[in-house]
A and B are shown apart, each in its own frame.
Chain A
């Protein structure tokens, strides 16, 4: 298996632009997680899905952030409009098991480094 796939790996955009990050989880995994990592705050959970359904989005910082999972093999995280403080590395992770699912290990993708100028 190729593992969790994320694209793009790097994104540089200007303030106010829309940004879309993409993730393909490991086949057969039924939970998908979006995290944000910064030096100041470390890894923070933004939202997670189980069987394509959003379960908890309390970590989404603002209404400018939205996430979708139209099927078991694809998810997007969108920021509109983007701001400089959104600059961070965004990780997607997936895992298997029953929901709520925080007892099993999560497999992380390589991340998308976002820079908003």
Chain B
């Protein structure tokens, strides 16, 4: 069964303390991996799409990387406004739907 697993479930950082979030997946023939950010009471907001192993994308303090079986979201010198739940998703093997992980809840304290 296609699965997306995110770790850790929750992460608490001090402002400026860099870290990484992990997303591992078990689908055949990856056709893209998506990262979303979700703030409380809001819908997920698109961040990145990665399509092939070795690909990297950056946006402000965030950098997403992709290998054959997992993706990392690196957060460099985070600020309190980076606090959110970060979701990753991949199309399932049959390319019939997006399968989402349950997310990593990030809290950055000043």
Q: Kindly name the residue among B34, B49, B96 whose own CB sees the greatest number of chain A CB atoms within 10 A.
A: B96
Q: Is the CB of B42 within 8 A of A111?
A: yes
Interface size class of B (residues with CB under 8 A): 20 to 34
Most buried by B among A43, A103, A108, A109: A43
Report how many A-B pairs have Cβ atoms within 8 Å: 50
CA distance A10 to B102 in the complex (A): 23
B28 CB to nearest chain A CB (Å): 14
Nearest-Cβ distance from residue B79 to partner chain A, whole angstroms: 24
Contact A105 B46 (CB under 8 A): yes
> Is the C-beta of B98 less than 8 angstroms from some C-beta in chain A?
yes
A4 at the interface (CB under 8 A from B): yes
Contact B96 A56, beta carbon cutoff 8 Å: yes
Q: Are A110 and B43 in contact (CB under 8 A)?
A: yes
Closest to B46 in A: A105
Interface residues of B in 59-110 (CB under 8 A from A): 87, 89, 91, 95-98, 100-103
A48 interface residue (CB < 8 Å to B): yes
Q: A79 an interface residue at 8 Å Cβ cutoff? A: no
**Contact A42 to B103, CB < 8 A, known contacts A102-B31, A105-B34, A108-B43:** yes
Contacts of B95 in A (CB 8 A): 100, 102
Residues of A within 8 A of B (CB): 4, 42-45, 48, 56, 58-59, 91, 93, 100, 102-103, 105-111
Which residues of chain B have a CB within 8 Å of any CB of chain A? 31-32, 34, 36, 41-46, 49, 87, 89, 91, 95-98, 100-103
Known A45-B98, A100-B96, A102-B98; further 8 A-B contacts with Cβ < 8 A: A4-B43, A44-B100, A45-B97, A91-B43, A91-B44, A100-B95, A102-B96, A106-B46
Query: Can you identify 19 A-B contacts, CB atoms within 8 angstroms?
Result: A4-B43, A42-B100, A42-B103, A43-B44, A43-B87, A56-B97, A102-B31, A102-B96, A102-B97, A102-B98, A103-B31, A103-B91, A105-B49, A106-B46, A106-B98, A108-B44, A108-B45, A110-B41, A111-B43
